[in-house]
Every structure is written in structure tokens, then in C-alpha cells.
Chain A
Amino acid sequence: EAGVTQFPSHSVIEKGQTVTLRCDPISGHDNLYWYRRVMGKEIKFLLHFVKESKQDESGMPNNRFLAERTGGTYSTLKVQPAELEDSGVYFCASSPTDRVSKTQYFGPGTRLLVL
């Protein structure tokens, strides 16, 4: 079974540009999460989708970040316009609809560098 995949693995852009990150969850997983780690900080939650609906977006830093999950399959996270402080590693995770445990399976991450 394929795991969570993320694209691209690395992205280097200039301040003010737009970047779109993609996440493909494990097939059949309704829950999809975005997290990020900025330099020197802990991994922080950004938002959670259940199918195509945003369940919790309390961790989104500001309105420059837009996440979508049309059709309830893959998700995109767009940063527009990118700022220097957006640099970091963006992780996506997915979990099944099992209502007992919260086991989340993470992708390898997208390393974003804003210059």
C-alpha cells in the first residue's frame, strides 16, 4: 500500500512569489492534516480536513495560506505571497475514519525555502 506522498520534495522561491504544495493521502483515508516545522521550532499543526471539509484550521498562520481538498482526495496548500518566515518543512499526514485511535501517517515533507 502506498504511503502519503508529497510534491515537490523541495521548493526554492523568492519572497512575494506563489508556491503550491500537494499531498496525496493514503487511499481511503478521509482525514488529512497539514503540519509544518519552521527552523528551530517544533512541528506545528496547520489544519485538518475530513474528506473535502475543513474540520479545524486553527493552526493556519494567516490568510496568505490557502488549503483545499476538492473531491476529498488529494490536497493542496498554497502560499501567496510567500514571505521569508514561511521557510520550513511542510508535512502532510492522513488517518482513517477509525474513531478510536488517532494514528496519523506522515509523508516525507516538502522543504520550502523563501529567499
Chain B
Amino acid sequence: DAKTTQPPSMDCAEGRAANLPCNHSTISGNEYVYWYRQIHSQGPQYIIHGLKNNETNEMASLIITEDRKSSTLILPHATLRDTAVYYCIVAPAGGGNKLTFGTGTQLKVEL
């Protein structure tokens, strides 16, 4: 699976948009970009995924560059409860396979 690079930490003011970047320059054509987060002491939580088009759901938006070498997770109106470690993971398409977690980005949302 392709490796990803994320900043170790970011801060965001409550109510503002949080934009979390991820580099995945070695991504191959059949690999999806997945975002998970882990709120302290809980299991990882799925947020969103995409292949090449931008995606939006009730939690977040995912913007993937045209060359697919990087992506940005956007939390449009961050709240204190969004404080967590966010993981960007790339993995091939197809039925169930392992997820490779890196160190992620520690997002701290403050008042």
C-alpha cells in the first residue's frame, strides 16, 4: 500500500473549517484514499473515502487533487468534539483488506 505523509499536529478554532492535508505521491491507480479518526480512548472511526472525485458526506468533505498525489479532509465547522487524531490511509480497491495506519494528525479544536 502507498505511504502517506501528514503533519503531526494542527490547531483550529471552534466553528471554523479544519483543513487537514495528506500527501500520497506514490498512490497507484486502483487505490482509494480513506480518512479515519480516533477520538481519545475510542476505536478508529470511519469518516470518508474517495478514488478521484471529490466526496462529501454528513461529516466531512474530501478534496483529491487531479493527479491524486494529495488530498485534503475538510471539517466545515469544527467543534470541540472533533478533537482527535486523523488518519489518511490509501488502500487498493476490492473486498476487505488491511488498513495501514500511520502517525496521523492530532487536531486540536479550541474555543
Please list the residues of chain A having a beta carbon within 8 angstroms of any beta carbon in chain B.
4, 30-31, 33, 35, 42-45, 48, 50, 55-56, 58-59, 91, 93, 95, 97-109
Contact = CB atoms under 8 A, between A and B. Distances in A.
Contacts of B102: 42
Interface of B: 32, 34, 38, 42-46, 49, 91, 93-103
A98 B101 contact: no
Nearest to B42: A108
A24 to B, nearest CB: 13
Interface hub of B46, B91, B98, B102 (most chain A Cβ within 10 A): B98
B51 to A, nearest CB: 9
B46 to A, nearest CB: 5
A91 B44 contact: yes
Contacts of B95: 31, 50, 97-99
Contacts of A103: 34, 46, 49
A43 B44 contact: yes
A48 to B, nearest CB: 6
Contacts, number: 70
B97 A56 contact: yes
Contact of B94 (A99, A104, A108): A99
Given A103-B49, A105-B46, A109-B43, A42 B34 contact: no
B96 A48 contact: yes
Nearest to A46: B98
Given A33-B96, A42-B103, A44-B101, A101 B32 contact: yes
A56 B97 CA distance: 8
Contacts of B42: 108-109
A103 to B, nearest CB: 5
B41 to A, nearest CB: 8
